[in-house]
Structure 1
């Protein structure tokens, strides 16, 4: 039989060194994770497009209720609406063709890129001036 190493002092020092190495490894992993998250946040933030709306723009409003009961061919964007006021906190006041005004979050709308002639109702007057 082999002789057992019964030197408890050396074994306890070796065990403490192993624990310290594990702690160092964890700290390095946390630092690397924090750096990765910071870089990914910077990359993501660079690619965020914040459109600025101007009074008189035609926009489309996202209908979030259609996500629950969506049909294949239903559009999630409502007909063009007119921007009447832009608030500094990102909210936008819109007006529909009947003249009703309401506030929405600026993230729920996008610029309407269609022809102004294809828009029916009162909005033609804004683009013919």
Structure 2
């Protein structure tokens, strides 16, 4: 048939690595390339690529630092103590249902405060079951409801 077993199975000629190397050497000689010049040029290209990668890394790092600075600038430093009442921000976005409802939910009691800013909250259900979970301190604000009620009752007593 005049075909090699590889050609017979795959339908195309097989090129061994030795043949490829020979053809590459022949192309270099034919085009009059100097192996030393191409080697140095390739080395310079690799060094330029490394410089571009380092530059991209530095610019990415500086961008992340700027974004972190702007984010941290907007954070409000609040200190919480165990036993205080706080409101928890409900971050679930509901567009239309209950759109006038407050996003701050029930007053919760602080059980403990951690150094990293996390706070453990405690809440009792209607069945008097205690539930506790840990949340980020940035999602909390102090509950002033009892103080306002006390202030309002004092004002009622003063005004005749």
- Please tell me the TM-score bracket, short chain as reference: 0.5 to 0.7
**Highest RCO, 1 vs 2 (Cα 8 Å, sep ≥ 6):** 1
d(CA) in 2 for partners of 1:17 and 1:57?
65
Aligned match for 1:87, one of 103, 112, 125: 112
- Structure with bigger helix share is 2
Q: Pairwise mapping of residues 7-22 of structure 1 onto structure 2 (< 5 A)?
A: 7-9=33-35, 10-22=37-49
What is the aligned residue count?
113
Residue matched to 2:87: 60
Report whether the alignment pairs 1:111 with 2:151: no
Long gaps (5+) in structure 1: 119-123, 125-129
TM-score w.r.t. structure 2 length? 0.48
Secondary structure of the equivalent of 1:6? coil
Larger radius of gyration: 2
d(CA) in 1 for partners of 2:148 and 2:126?
14
d(CA) in 2 for partners of 1:19 and 1:52?
53
Deviation above 4 Å: which 4+ runs of structure 1?
94-101
Deviations 1:53-79 (A, max 9, x none): 235543223345x64686222222234
State the shift of 1:91 in Å. 0.6
Deviations 1:82-101 (A, max 9, x none): 63x53133213346899764
Long gaps (5+) in structure 2: 1-29, 154-160
CA RMSD of aligned residues (A): 3.9
